[in-house]
Amino acid sequence: MKSTLTINSANSTPPSKGMFGKLPVAPAYRVVFDTIEKLVMTGKLKPGDILPTETELAERFDINRSTLREGIRLLEQNGLVVRGAAKRLTVSVPHIVDLTSRISNALILHDVTFRELWETYIILEPALAKLAAENATEEIIKKLEDNLESMIACGEDADCFNKLDYEFHDLVAEAACNRPMLIARQPISILMMPAAHAILPRLNTYDRVIVAHRKILDAIRAHDQSEASEWMHKHTTDFKRGYESLGFDAGEHLVNSGFDASAGIKPQA
Protein backbone atom coordinates (compact mmCIF):
# COMPACT_ATOMS: atom_id res chain seq x y z
CA MET A 1 0.00 0.00 0.00
CA LYS A 2 3.04 2.32 0.16
CA SER A 3 1.62 4.06 3.16
CA THR A 4 4.61 6.33 3.63
CA LEU A 5 5.79 8.28 0.66
CA THR A 6 8.28 11.08 0.89
CA ILE A 7 8.48 13.63 -1.84
CA ASN A 8 12.21 14.15 -1.46
CA SER A 9 13.30 10.62 -2.14
CA ALA A 10 15.94 11.68 -4.67
CA ASN A 11 17.97 8.57 -4.23
CA SER A 12 17.08 5.90 -6.74
CA THR A 13 14.48 6.63 -9.35
CA PRO A 14 13.67 9.98 -10.79
CA PRO A 15 10.59 11.34 -9.07
CA SER A 16 8.62 11.38 -12.28
CA LYS A 17 8.35 7.61 -12.24
CA GLY A 18 7.74 5.11 -9.45
CA MET A 19 5.79 7.35 -7.20
CA PHE A 20 2.63 8.91 -8.54
CA GLY A 21 1.32 5.58 -9.76
CA LYS A 22 -0.42 6.33 -13.00
CA LEU A 23 -3.30 8.66 -12.40
CA PRO A 24 -6.52 7.26 -13.67
CA VAL A 25 -6.78 8.61 -17.18
CA ALA A 26 -9.62 6.48 -18.44
CA PRO A 27 -10.37 6.00 -22.12
CA ALA A 28 -13.24 8.04 -23.39
CA TYR A 29 -15.63 5.15 -23.78
CA ARG A 30 -15.16 4.36 -20.13
CA VAL A 31 -15.88 7.94 -19.18
CA VAL A 32 -19.08 7.69 -21.13
CA PHE A 33 -20.02 4.63 -19.12
CA ASP A 34 -19.09 6.17 -15.78
CA THR A 35 -20.95 9.35 -16.56
CA ILE A 36 -24.19 7.75 -17.62
CA GLU A 37 -23.98 5.14 -14.89
CA LYS A 38 -23.72 7.89 -12.33
CA LEU A 39 -26.68 9.66 -13.88
CA VAL A 40 -28.74 6.52 -13.48
CA MET A 41 -27.54 5.73 -9.99
CA THR A 42 -28.23 9.24 -8.75
CA GLY A 43 -31.69 9.17 -10.20
CA LYS A 44 -31.10 11.91 -12.75
CA LEU A 45 -31.95 9.29 -15.31
CA LYS A 46 -34.84 7.08 -14.34
CA PRO A 47 -35.78 3.66 -15.67
CA GLY A 48 -37.93 4.11 -18.72
CA ASP A 49 -36.27 7.34 -19.77
CA ILE A 50 -35.26 7.37 -23.39
CA LEU A 51 -31.77 8.47 -24.17
CA PRO A 52 -30.98 10.76 -27.10
CA THR A 53 -29.87 9.16 -30.31
CA GLU A 54 -26.31 8.01 -30.67
CA THR A 55 -25.47 10.87 -32.97
CA GLU A 56 -26.81 13.44 -30.56
CA LEU A 57 -25.13 11.86 -27.55
CA ALA A 58 -21.85 11.78 -29.39
CA GLU A 59 -22.22 15.44 -30.24
CA ARG A 60 -23.00 16.40 -26.68
CA PHE A 61 -20.07 14.48 -25.26
CA ASP A 62 -18.00 15.77 -28.16
CA ILE A 63 -16.70 12.36 -29.11
CA ASN A 64 -17.11 10.18 -32.11
CA ARG A 65 -20.11 7.98 -32.45
CA SER A 66 -17.95 4.84 -32.55
CA THR A 67 -16.39 5.76 -29.25
CA LEU A 68 -19.76 6.52 -27.77
CA ARG A 69 -21.08 3.19 -28.92
CA GLU A 70 -18.33 1.39 -27.06
CA GLY A 71 -19.46 3.14 -23.93
CA ILE A 72 -23.04 2.18 -24.65
CA ARG A 73 -21.99 -1.46 -24.84
CA LEU A 74 -20.65 -1.26 -21.31
CA LEU A 75 -23.94 0.14 -20.11
CA GLU A 76 -25.83 -2.46 -22.05
CA GLN A 77 -23.90 -5.34 -20.57
CA ASN A 78 -24.49 -3.87 -17.16
CA GLY A 79 -28.21 -3.89 -17.79
CA LEU A 80 -28.53 -0.17 -17.22
CA VAL A 81 -29.81 0.47 -20.71
CA VAL A 82 -31.68 -1.71 -23.13
CA ARG A 83 -32.43 -1.06 -26.74
CA GLY A 84 -36.14 -0.56 -26.49
CA ALA A 85 -38.95 -1.10 -28.90
CA ALA A 86 -37.99 1.64 -31.28
CA LYS A 87 -34.34 0.65 -31.02
CA ARG A 88 -33.94 3.78 -28.98
CA LEU A 89 -31.85 3.36 -25.89
CA THR A 90 -33.95 3.30 -22.78
CA VAL A 91 -32.73 3.42 -19.23
CA SER A 92 -33.47 0.24 -17.37
CA VAL A 93 -32.89 -1.60 -14.14
CA PRO A 94 -30.59 -4.64 -14.25
CA HIS A 95 -32.67 -7.79 -14.37
CA ILE A 96 -32.18 -10.23 -11.58
CA VAL A 97 -31.67 -13.09 -13.99
CA ASP A 98 -28.79 -11.30 -15.64
CA LEU A 99 -27.12 -10.87 -12.31
CA THR A 100 -27.63 -14.41 -11.21
CA SER A 101 -26.38 -15.98 -14.40
CA ARG A 102 -23.36 -13.73 -14.22
CA ILE A 103 -22.74 -14.82 -10.66
CA SER A 104 -23.01 -18.47 -11.45
CA ASN A 105 -20.65 -18.08 -14.37
CA ALA A 106 -18.17 -16.36 -12.11
CA LEU A 107 -18.50 -19.07 -9.51
CA ILE A 108 -17.83 -21.71 -12.11
CA LEU A 109 -14.72 -19.90 -13.26
CA HIS A 110 -13.60 -19.60 -9.68
CA ASP A 111 -13.87 -23.37 -9.35
CA VAL A 112 -16.41 -23.22 -6.58
CA THR A 113 -16.85 -26.48 -4.74
CA PHE A 114 -20.03 -28.29 -3.91
CA ARG A 115 -19.19 -27.88 -0.26
CA GLU A 116 -19.38 -24.12 -0.58
CA LEU A 117 -22.63 -24.25 -2.48
CA TRP A 118 -24.07 -26.62 0.01
CA GLU A 119 -23.05 -24.66 3.09
CA THR A 120 -24.80 -21.64 1.70
CA TYR A 121 -27.82 -23.48 0.42
CA ILE A 122 -28.55 -25.14 3.74
CA ILE A 123 -28.60 -21.69 5.30
CA LEU A 124 -30.64 -19.90 2.70
CA GLU A 125 -33.35 -22.39 1.88
CA PRO A 126 -34.80 -22.75 5.39
CA ALA A 127 -34.53 -19.01 5.86
CA LEU A 128 -36.43 -18.43 2.66
CA ALA A 129 -39.06 -20.98 3.60
CA LYS A 130 -39.53 -19.22 6.89
CA LEU A 131 -39.93 -15.86 5.20
CA ALA A 132 -42.26 -17.43 2.70
CA ALA A 133 -44.43 -18.64 5.53
CA GLU A 134 -44.50 -15.07 6.75
CA ASN A 135 -45.02 -13.24 3.51
CA ALA A 136 -46.53 -15.57 0.93
CA THR A 137 -49.48 -14.15 -0.95
CA GLU A 138 -52.52 -16.12 -1.97
CA GLU A 139 -51.42 -15.85 -5.54
CA ILE A 140 -48.09 -17.50 -5.04
CA ILE A 141 -49.54 -20.13 -2.75
CA LYS A 142 -51.79 -21.00 -5.64
CA LYS A 143 -48.78 -21.39 -7.86
CA LEU A 144 -47.15 -23.64 -5.31
CA GLU A 145 -50.26 -25.78 -5.15
CA ASP A 146 -50.34 -26.05 -8.91
CA ASN A 147 -46.70 -26.99 -8.90
CA LEU A 148 -47.25 -29.74 -6.38
CA GLU A 149 -50.18 -31.12 -8.33
CA SER A 150 -48.21 -31.15 -11.53
CA MET A 151 -45.40 -32.89 -9.78
CA ILE A 152 -47.66 -35.65 -8.58
CA ALA A 153 -49.07 -35.97 -12.07
CA CYS A 154 -45.54 -36.17 -13.31
CA GLY A 155 -45.01 -39.71 -12.17
CA GLU A 156 -41.46 -40.79 -12.57
CA ASP A 157 -40.65 -38.68 -15.58
CA ALA A 158 -37.31 -37.45 -14.26
CA ASP A 159 -36.98 -34.43 -16.50
CA CYS A 160 -40.44 -33.19 -15.74
CA PHE A 161 -39.98 -33.89 -12.07
CA ASN A 162 -36.69 -32.06 -11.85
CA LYS A 163 -38.04 -29.07 -13.64
CA LEU A 164 -40.95 -28.82 -11.26
CA ASP A 165 -38.70 -29.38 -8.29
CA TYR A 166 -36.53 -26.51 -9.40
CA GLU A 167 -39.60 -24.39 -9.92
CA PHE A 168 -41.00 -25.20 -6.51
CA HIS A 169 -37.93 -23.94 -4.73
CA ASP A 170 -37.87 -20.92 -6.97
CA LEU A 171 -41.45 -20.15 -6.03
CA VAL A 172 -40.72 -20.51 -2.34
CA ALA A 173 -37.83 -18.10 -2.74
CA GLU A 174 -40.06 -15.70 -4.60
CA ALA A 175 -42.71 -15.99 -1.93
CA ALA A 176 -40.21 -14.85 0.67
CA CYS A 177 -40.19 -11.34 -0.80
CA ASN A 178 -36.52 -10.82 -0.15
CA ARG A 179 -34.45 -9.89 -3.12
CA PRO A 180 -30.97 -10.04 -1.64
CA MET A 181 -31.62 -13.57 -0.53
CA LEU A 182 -33.22 -14.38 -3.84
CA ILE A 183 -30.15 -13.19 -5.68
CA ALA A 184 -27.93 -15.17 -3.36
CA ARG A 185 -29.93 -18.33 -3.80
CA GLN A 186 -30.48 -18.37 -7.52
CA PRO A 187 -26.89 -18.96 -8.68
CA ILE A 188 -26.50 -21.77 -6.20
CA SER A 189 -29.70 -23.32 -7.32
CA ILE A 190 -28.55 -23.14 -10.92
CA LEU A 191 -25.20 -24.69 -10.17
CA MET A 192 -26.68 -27.52 -8.17
CA MET A 193 -29.10 -28.48 -10.87
CA PRO A 194 -26.82 -31.01 -12.53
CA ALA A 195 -26.42 -32.73 -9.21
CA ALA A 196 -30.17 -32.82 -8.74
CA HIS A 197 -30.59 -34.35 -12.15
CA ALA A 198 -28.07 -37.02 -11.30
CA ILE A 199 -29.58 -37.92 -7.96
CA LEU A 200 -33.25 -38.26 -8.59
CA PRO A 201 -33.44 -41.11 -11.11
CA ARG A 202 -30.71 -43.10 -9.41
CA LEU A 203 -32.03 -42.96 -5.89
CA ASN A 204 -35.71 -42.95 -6.65
CA THR A 205 -36.53 -40.23 -4.17
CA TYR A 206 -39.69 -39.11 -5.86
CA ASP A 207 -41.93 -39.88 -2.93
CA ARG A 208 -39.69 -38.27 -0.35
CA VAL A 209 -39.54 -35.10 -2.40
CA ILE A 210 -43.29 -34.91 -2.77
CA VAL A 211 -43.88 -35.47 0.91
CA ALA A 212 -41.42 -32.75 1.80
CA HIS A 213 -42.88 -30.31 -0.67
CA ARG A 214 -46.33 -30.93 0.67
CA LYS A 215 -45.21 -30.35 4.24
CA ILE A 216 -43.48 -27.16 3.24
CA LEU A 217 -46.44 -25.93 1.29
CA ASP A 218 -48.80 -26.70 4.14
CA ALA A 219 -46.58 -24.82 6.55
CA ILE A 220 -46.38 -21.82 4.25
CA ARG A 221 -50.13 -21.81 3.81
CA ALA A 222 -50.59 -21.99 7.57
CA HIS A 223 -47.99 -19.26 8.06
CA ASP A 224 -46.15 -21.64 10.34
CA GLN A 225 -42.67 -20.27 10.02
CA SER A 226 -40.72 -22.75 12.09
CA GLU A 227 -42.48 -25.71 10.49
CA ALA A 228 -41.69 -24.37 7.03
CA SER A 229 -38.10 -23.78 7.99
CA GLU A 230 -37.65 -27.17 9.59
CA TRP A 231 -39.11 -29.11 6.72
CA MET A 232 -37.09 -27.22 4.23
CA HIS A 233 -34.03 -27.99 6.28
CA LYS A 234 -34.84 -31.68 6.27
CA HIS A 235 -35.61 -31.60 2.59
CA THR A 236 -32.35 -29.89 1.75
CA THR A 237 -30.38 -32.22 3.95
CA ASP A 238 -31.97 -35.11 2.13
CA PHE A 239 -30.59 -33.69 -1.05
CA LYS A 240 -27.08 -33.62 0.29
CA ARG A 241 -27.39 -37.13 1.60
CA GLY A 242 -28.41 -38.22 -1.85
CA TYR A 243 -25.45 -36.42 -3.33
CA GLU A 244 -23.05 -38.11 -1.01
CA SER A 245 -24.58 -41.55 -1.26
CA LEU A 246 -23.86 -41.41 -4.96
CA GLY A 247 -20.21 -41.33 -4.05
CA PHE A 248 -19.54 -37.71 -4.90
CA ASP A 249 -17.04 -35.78 -2.87
CA ALA A 250 -18.49 -32.51 -1.67
CA GLY A 251 -15.14 -30.81 -1.96
CA GLU A 252 -14.91 -31.71 -5.61
CA HIS A 253 -14.94 -28.94 -8.16
CA LEU A 254 -17.92 -28.28 -10.33
CA VAL A 255 -16.05 -26.91 -13.29
CA ASN A 256 -17.57 -29.09 -15.88
CA SER A 257 -21.12 -28.62 -14.86
CA GLY A 258 -20.00 -25.95 -17.20
CA PHE A 259 -21.76 -23.72 -19.55
CA ASP A 260 -24.99 -25.45 -20.28
CA ALA A 261 -25.90 -25.42 -16.62
CA SER A 262 -26.02 -21.66 -16.52
CA ALA A 263 -27.39 -21.18 -20.00
CA GLY A 264 -29.92 -23.93 -19.68
CA ILE A 265 -32.23 -22.18 -17.34
CA LYS A 266 -32.61 -18.52 -18.11
CA PRO A 267 -36.37 -18.81 -17.88
CA GLN A 268 -37.56 -15.68 -19.68
CA ALA A 269 -34.59 -13.41 -19.98
Q: How far is CA 107 from the centre of its chain?
A: 11
Which of 14, 180, 247, 251 lies at the binding interface for a second copy (CB under 8 A)? 180
Which of 82, 183, 198, 203 lies at the binding interface for a second copy (CB under 8 A)? 183
Contact between 116 and DNA per CB under 7 A: no
For the chain, what is the radius of gyration of the CA atoms?
A: 25
Which of 28, 63, 97, 123 lies at the binding interface for a second copy (CB under 8 A)? 123
Contact between 120 and a second copy per CB under 8 A: yes
The interface partner of residue 224, options being DNA, a second copy, none and the CB cut-off 5 to 8 Å by kind, is: none
- Please choose, from the candidates 69, 76, 71, the residue with its C-alpha nearest in 3D space to the C-alpha of residue 33: 71
> What is the number of alpha carbons within 13 Å of residue 235 lying toward its C-beta?
26
The interface partner of residue 154, options being a second copy, DNA, none and the CB cut-off 5 to 8 Å by kind, is: none
The interface partner of residue 19, options being DNA, a second copy, none and the CB cut-off 5 to 8 Å by kind, is: none
Q: Is 253 helix (H, G, I), strand (E, B) or coil?
A: strand
DSSP states of 80-130 as a string? Answer: SEEE-TTS-EEE----HHHHHHHHHHHHHHTT-BHHHHHHHHHHHHHHHHH
Which of 35, 66, 137, 204 lies at the binding interface for a second copy (CB under 8 A)? 66
Which of 51, 58, 124, 164 lies at the binding interface for a second copy (CB under 8 A)? 124
Which of 28, 63, 73, 201 lies at the binding interface for a second copy (CB under 8 A)? 73
CB of 241 to a second copy, least distance (A): 20
> What's the rounded Cα separation, in Å, for the pair 208 and 238?
9
- Please choose, from the candidates 180, 174, 199, 48, the residue with its C-alpha nearest in 3D space to the C-alpha of residue 118: 199
Q: Would you tell me which residues interact with DNA (CB under 7 A)? A: 27-29, 53-55, 62-67, 69-70, 83, 85-89
